[in-house]
Amino acid sequence: MALYSDKVMDHFLQPRNVGVIEDADGVGEVGNAKCGDIMKMYLKIDDDIITDVKFETFGCASAIASSSMATELIKGQPVEDALKLTNKAVAEALDGLPDYKMHCSVLAEEAIQKALEDYKSKQENTSQN
């Protein structure tokens, strides 16, 4: 059996939503201290709906495929649903990752959570002013 599913290979070779959103409403950056890989997510949010999402990942094939799939899963979704996205759901959408590569999908979950936290804290600041 091939190590990676066709979907992992597809999202690794042709990642969706790569790039930067200059005026993002939420940005989240996370890293894995063990492998040194870094993932950054940018969210554009209108009326609590994620209208655009881009990512930059300096990492392994699984991390790139996970970020790409995660952006596809949350694009167009309400913030509340994106908050519930788990790394398991990302890995399942990719038709699985090898066990020792599951931690790569955790980066995608964490980067999205962090970007959403950033969005929420910016909103609180605006409402206080």
Place of tokens 């950033």: 118
**The one catalytic residue among 13, 20, 35, 121:** 35
Q: SS3 for 16?
A: coil
| Ranges of H-type helices in the chain | 6-13, 61-74, 79-83, 87-93, 102-128
Residue 45 binds to ligand FES (criterion: CB under 6 A): no
Q: How far is the CB of 34 from ligand FES (least distance, A)?
A: 7
Q: Considering beta carbons, is residue 25 or 37 the nearer one to ligand FES? A: 37
Please, which residue, 90 or 104, has the CB nearer to ligand FES?
A: 104
**Residues in 97-116 that interact with ligand FES by CB under 6 A:** 104, 107
**For the chain, what is the radius of gyration of the CA atoms?**
14
Does 62 sit near ligand FES (CB under 6 A)? yes
> What's the one-letter identity of residue 69?
M
Task: Pick from 32, 77, 113, 123 the residue near ligand FES by CB under 6 A.
Answer: 32
The CA distance from 79 to 61, in Å, is: 27
For the annotated catalytic residues, the residue numbers are 35, 104
